Amino acid sequence: MHASLPMYDRPEMRAETDRFWALTRDALRDRGIAAPDALTREFNSPWELWQSPDLLLSQTCGLPLRAVLRDKVTLVATPDFALPGCATGHYNSVLITRPENADTPMETLLRGRTVINEGLSQSGWGALCRYADRLGMIPAKPTLSGGHAFSARAVLEGHADLAAIDAQTWRLLLRYEPDLRTLVERDRTVPTPALPLITAIGCDPAPLNAALEDAIAALPDEDCNTLCLAGFTRIPLDDYMALPVPPNPDDLPQ
């Protein structure tokens, strides 16, 4: 079996993440469940990990879950990062631009140079499309950066004018990459269920949930604060599935 927590695994927080995993691992072993000593961090693609029959625990995004993985994995739990304006286990996206665009109408920015991490990202693309839809439009065809941090830097360096960044990622970027603090937050999107923890299809999520609860209860407060981890909740799969699947950005006109 293997485990990974790839979505917020910054190097600066690796020790705290490893301590959280060690507590989870030991709680699983106490329940008679084999768990790897360490998290898997070297892999070709998260898709291989997520769809592996040997998956014990990992974290994906809500859009891949509903668009691809819904019948290939088992939903375990959703972490709660206690984000402002968000219900337990929910998150949203921060719409960022440079200071010179602080007063530019959002419709203009959405029709202009947008950048997203990838087309199967709820926070980078799904949330942006939903935000635009509320304004009666769709975003312009975006460029793809390969990651939220790269999107923020593309805006900072003038290669794009608007990006939607996962609010938890944005919190960490401001903490560890302070030059990004010159960027302007224009708005935040409507909250949706946060990035879910998953296991292999057919696996019982109950002991995993119990182990996660034991781990968060035992994790020192300073580690919880570093990870911004307030706890875990169970959000029904139907809540993830209820959100629309956005268009493939490759299909949009230039």
Average pLDDT, the chain: 97
Distance CA 133, CA 181 (A): 28
The tokens describing 35, both together, are: 């768990």
Instruction: Dump pLDDT digits (tens) for 121-169.
Output: 999 999 999 999 999 999 999 999 999 999 999 999 999 999 999 999 9
Q: What is the pLDDT of residues 199-212, one digit of tens each?
A: 999 999 999 999 99
Distance CA(231)–CA(250), nearest Å, equals: 37
> What is the rounded distance in angstroms from the CA atom of residue 211 to the CA atom of residue 208?
5
**pLDDT for 253:** 85
Among candidates 32, 28, 31, 58, which has minimal Cα distance to 43? 58
- Assess whether pLDDT exceeds 90 at residue 171: yes
| Homologous superfamily, domain 93-190 | Periplasmic binding protein-like II (3.40.190.10)
CA 169 distance to own-chain centroid: 8
**2-82+194-236 and 93-190, same CATH topology:** yes
Nearest residue to 28 via CA among 201, 200, 209: 209
Q: Half-sphere exposure of residue 8, counting CA atoms within 13 Å on the CB side?
A: 25
Q: For the chain, what are the domain ranges?
A: 2-82+194-236, 93-190
Q: Model confidence at 246, in pLDDT bands (50, 70, 90)? A: very high
Cβ atoms 197, 64 nearer than 8 A:
no
Q: Which CATH class is domain 2-82+194-236?
A: alpha beta
Predicted model pTM: 0.96
